[in-house]
């Protein structure tokens, strides 16, 4: 009788993107990826944005190979990736990864890669989650610590909802923990405004190293500003205080881009369209809040990562008004008829009529066609296993463990 043990062991998972509201920028240990300060992020729903990864281990494979978004990549050139795989090996008992067995890894993102949209966070979270699942390691804290070695912010993608990365002092203590599950603030919504889906110019690794070396403001930020903000943000999230949440989110995005500007030579991730979004958000917030009263609580908060795309956090009731303002400011112009921004993901009524003040705010920043599209999403859970079967509908691999065509 032939041995029925599967010759190829496999799992397919998906992992979410996270968008920081208190930013990580700067390491105290480059090799271990220990950050200078704690950070806090929201995990986005995988229905709209995620990395899906299939891994397979087999004696049939003669070397480790990886395909990213349809193209084979040279794994030997990626020291961090190799390090992550070695770390997993150290967690296994002898023989669990039989000698002569190699990995195939196939990963795809359902959103633009490396445009400052946290693709590496989702990618490393998916890869480390998948590898750990392959060997029955299910402890989110351990997987978070491992994912950190691939891309710092990836450690936050192991949990849903709002997540804090505690800077820690060494490899074991620098890890993420959940502050609030995705169901804990059900009205929270996110609009990702895609200004550009091109690859960013300065990688976050190179950028933050230069900032730490050259920016006097960076040391002040890490020591004197962020600790207080992390406490205030955790309290705002715990009490679902959107106004405090929004103000802290915007202030911290601004300071992150200020330390970029304070880097020598300076780093610039936001462009003119990004700045017009900042202007529009402050105008909207200055004149009205979600319940319609004047000059009250913030309606919407922006945050920008290492790229020009804006990420807006807002409550569900504010979405139609904000989308209407975005349409008035950025929808492409047509000779005839109405045009609308392309909104992918959760759909809303976009036809609300703006009051005169709101319409004036949109008119003040108007740039028809400046936004490529909007991804409309919400908070979501941490990584999930999709299948443990090779070659089924969900796996990214055919029955032989190679990428499906």
Applying CB under 6 A, the residues found at the interface with ligand PMV are 20, 23-25, 39, 120-121, 151-153, 204-205, 305-306
d(C-alpha 18, C-alpha 207), whole Å: 19
Tokens of 6: 């599967």
For ligand PMV, the closer CB: 205 or 279: 205
3-state SS, residue 117: coil
Q: Closest distance between ligand PMV and the C-beta of residue 210, in Å?
A: 13
For ligand PMV, the closer CB: 117 or 386: 117
Q: Closest distance between ligand PMV and the C-beta of residue 344, in Å?
A: 21
Q: Closest distance between ligand PMV and the C-beta of residue 154, in Å?
A: 6
d(C-alpha 33, C-alpha 310), whole Å: 26
Tokens of 309: 């795309």
Q: Closest distance between ligand PMV and the C-beta of residue 201, in Å?
A: 14
The maximal CA–CA distance of the chain, rounded, in angstroms, is: 80
Long-range contacts (CB closer than 8 Å, 24 or more residues apart) made by 355-362: 355/288, 357/287, 357/288, 358/284, 358/287, 358/288, 358/321, 358/324, 358/325, 359/328, 361/280, 361/283, 361/284, 361/287, 361/325, 362/280, 362/325, 362/326, 362/328, 362/329
Q: Closest distance between ligand PMV and the C-beta of residue 120, in Å?
A: 5
For ligand PMV, the closer CB: 144 or 395: 144
For ligand PMV, the closer CB: 43 or 120: 120
For ligand PMV, the closer CB: 38 or 45: 38
For ligand PMV, the closer CB: 114 or 328: 114
Q: Closest distance between ligand PMV and the C-beta of residue 71, in Å?
A: 20
CB environment 67-91: b (16+ within 10 A), e (fewer): bbeeeeeeeeeeeebeebbebbeee
């Amino acid at each position: 009788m032939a041995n029925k043990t599967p010759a190829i062991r496999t799992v397919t998972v998906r992992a979410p993107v996270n968008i920081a509201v208190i930013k990580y920028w700067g390491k105290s240990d480059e090799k271990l990826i220990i950050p200078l300060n704690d950070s806090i992020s929201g995990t986005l729903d995988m229905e709209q944005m995620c990395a899906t990864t299939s891994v397979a281990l087999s004696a049939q494979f003669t070397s480790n190979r990886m395909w990213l978004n349809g193209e084979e990549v040279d794994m030997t050139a990626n020291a961090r990736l190799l390090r992550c795989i070695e770390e997993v090996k150290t967690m296994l008992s002898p023989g669990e990864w039989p000698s002569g067995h190699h990995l195939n890894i196939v990963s795809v993102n359902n959103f633009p890669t490396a445009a400052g949209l946290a693709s590496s966070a989702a990618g490393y979270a998916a890869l480390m989650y998948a590898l750990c699942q392959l060997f029955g390691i299910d402890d989110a804290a351990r997987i978070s610590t491992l994912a950190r070695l691939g891309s710092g912010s990836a450690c936050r993608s192991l949990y849903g909802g709002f997540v804090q990365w505690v800077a820690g002092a060494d490899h074991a203590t620098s890890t993420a923990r959940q502050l609030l599950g995705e169901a804990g603030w059900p009205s929270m919504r996110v609009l990702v405004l895609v200004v550009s889906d091109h690859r960013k110019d300065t990688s976050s690794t190179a950028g933050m190293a230069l900032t730490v070396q050259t920016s006097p403001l960076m040391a002040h930020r890490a020591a004197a500003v962020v600790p207080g903000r992390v406490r205030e943000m955790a309290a705002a999230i715990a009490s679902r205080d959107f106004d405090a949440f929004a103000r802290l989110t915007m202030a911290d995005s601004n300071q992150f881009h200020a330390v970029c500007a304070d880097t020598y030579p300076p780093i610039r991730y936001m462009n003119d369209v990004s700045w017009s979004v900042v202007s529009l958000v402050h105008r909207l917030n200055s004149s009205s809040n979600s319940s319609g009263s004047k000059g009250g609580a913030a309606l919407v908060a922006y945050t920008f990562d290492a790229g020009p795309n804006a990420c807006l956090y807002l409550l569900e009731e504010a979405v139609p008004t904000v989308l209407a303002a975005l349409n008035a400011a950025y929808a492409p112009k047509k000779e005839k008829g109405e045009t609308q921004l392309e909104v992918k993901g959760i759909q809303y009524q976009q036809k609300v009529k703006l009051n005169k003040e709101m319409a004036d705010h949109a008119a003040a920043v108007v740039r028809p066609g400046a936004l490529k599209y909007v991804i409309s999403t919400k908070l979501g859970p941490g990584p999930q296993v999709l299948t443990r079967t090779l070659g089924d509908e969900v796996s990214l691999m055919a029955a032989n463990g190679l990428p499906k065509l």
